[in-house]
Amino acid sequence: MSDFRDVRAVAGGTAFLTGVTGQDGSYLAESLLSRGWEVHGLVRQRPQAGPTVDGEMFIDGVHYHVGDLAKPSGLEAILRSVAPELVFNLGGISSVYQSWQEPYDTALISGASVVGMLETMWQVQQATGKQIRFLQASSAELFGDAEFSPQSEETPIRPVSPYGAAKALAHHAVGVYRGRGMFASTAILYNHESVRRPSKFVTRKITSAAAAIAAGKQDKLSLGNLAAVRDWGWAPDYVDAMDRIAHASEPDDFVVATGISHSVQDFVVAAFKAVGIEDWQRYVDVDESLSRPTDASEMRGDISKISSRVGWKPTVDFDELVAAMVRHDQALLAE
């Protein structure tokens, strides 16, 4: 039985987002604004006029607040003045690769800071008497190199990367504060992509290279582990899932995925095909330095719980996702 309030039917209130300039944060801000919500977001520095930096989107209508996720104590004044009904924590170090370069910062920004945020929200809620609903963007990296696929909310949490370990701390802390009485939920997000995906992620690296190679503007694409199998979904669908989870009648943990997985090589084949290149092997090198110390062989999510409890399912399949990203990168080259 579905137990969510239809997100489109909930009258606009006030939402506060971390990670508001990222892929998910920018889509969520646009969606909330279009439904009459007042949207506040945490940024490291005020938006600058000028061209958009890869992975940084500034949305008209968002109230930006300068702050630092690594110092959650500064959040208290912001949360008291904004007085949000909803807080979405989408910020932090979002790349597994980067977490191997900066493991301590990852633990601090994507892990310990969430403990600080939860405590701050708890204190604000106690002082004002107004409920705050909290949604943490958890990650499939919690499950590490899971023994079985698909993974569900019951799969043991055994991360194999500094990113996964940091996200596991945050995930457990949400459970602790939920036990204390907070409306705190998690979305255990599998890889989700879009035309706003920064090029440090493999999908965008592949689609932008395929477009550039087809246009004669790039010769080669160097990749790491082509055999990794991932469950890739469409980011706006995953933002809709997080919105629905935040509006559910009870707080809980939900896997957000498509239930279908493909290898990195499948992604390469599909992207090159979309630009009219069948002999992709001519253009792709394997560079071992791009492989990670440990990398899960397959990640695939079981979406039974979110489908039945929150009424969510993905709307964009793998081929549509690849085609949309490639079309966008071709259009950028034509500008």
Question: Which residues participate in catalysis according to the annotation?
Answer: 139, 141, 163
Closer to ligand GDP by CB, 195 or 290: give it: 290
User: DSSP states of 247-305 as a string?
Assistant: TBSS--EEEE--S--EEHHHHHHHHHHHTT-S-GGGTEEE-GGGS-SS--SB--B--HH
* Least distance from ligand GDP to the Cβ atom of residue 195, Å: 15
Closer to ligand GDP by CB, 60 or 288: give it: 288
* Least distance from ligand GDP to the Cβ atom of residue 102, Å: 14
Closer to ligand GDP by CB, 4 or 201: give it: 201
What residues does 230 pair with on adjacent strands?
262
* Least distance from ligand GDP to the Cβ atom of residue 179, Å: 29
- And the tokens for 70? 């690594």
Question: What residues line the site for ligand GDP (CB under 6 A)?
Answer: 95-97, 191, 200-203, 205, 223-225, 228, 230, 264, 290, 292, 295
* Least distance from ligand GDP to the Cβ atom of residue 205, Å: 6
Which residue's Cβ lies closest to ligand GDP? 228
Residue with tokens 């992620």: 201
Secondary element (H or E) of residue 144: none
Query: Where are the alpha helices (H) located in 132-289, listed in sequence order?
Result: 162-179, 202-214, 235-246, 264-274
* Rg of the chain in Å (alpha carbons): 20
Closer to ligand GDP by CB, 18 or 191: give it: 191
Amino acid at 108: L
Closer to ligand GDP by CB, 83 or 169: give it: 169
Angle between helices 235-246 and 23-34 in degrees, nearest 10 = 60
* Least distance from ligand GDP to the Cβ atom of residue 267, Å: 8
Q: N- to C-terminal Cα distance for the chain?
A: 48
